[in-house]
């Protein structure tokens, strides 16, 4: 009984049914302006659907390569300096190998 009264109140508020004592001057429910229920943030259920969402395709980033150095020359040599360094970590200080290389020539 409680559910029937609650659902009738909701239908009455939504304008889907006309109260019994509305009289002849009131508009019938069929000709009244339809009431569209919206979400509080203004989006409908169709806009939340993954099938209807538009996917934005962006152009890939372009990397421009300018003229200049063409790399090491034909007689260049790669020089590497290796050494050990201390690294301070939360578990304690550790010794790690490091290497720095460059082209000479």
| pLDDT tens digits along 26-67 | 555 555 555 555 555 666 666 666 666 666 778 888 888 777
Structure-block tokens of residue 6: 């609650």
Q: 71-99 burial by CB neighbour count: b if 16+ within 10 A, else e?
A: eeeeeeeeeeeeeeeeeeeeeeeeeeeee
pLDDT at 90: 96
pLDDT of 23 over the 60 cut? no
How many residues appear in the chain? 105
More confident of the two residues 90 and 73: 90
pLDDT of 97 over the 90 cut? yes
82, 96 Cβ separation under 8 angstroms: no
To the question of pTM greater than 0.75 for the whole model, the response is no
């Amino acid at each position: 009984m409680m559910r029937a009264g609650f659902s009738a109140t909701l239908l009455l508020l939504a304008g889907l049914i006309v109260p019994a004592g509305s009289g002849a001057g009131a508009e019938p429910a069929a000709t009244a302006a339809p009431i569209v229920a919206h979400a509080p943030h203004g989006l409908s259920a169709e806009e939340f659907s993954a099938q209807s969402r538009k996917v934005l395709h962006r152009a890939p980033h372009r990397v421009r390569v300018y003229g200049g150095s063409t790399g090491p020359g034909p007689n260049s040599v790669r020089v590497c300096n290796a050494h050990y360094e201390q690294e301070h970590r939360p578990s304690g200080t550790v010794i790690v190998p490091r290497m720095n290389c460059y082209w000479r020539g």
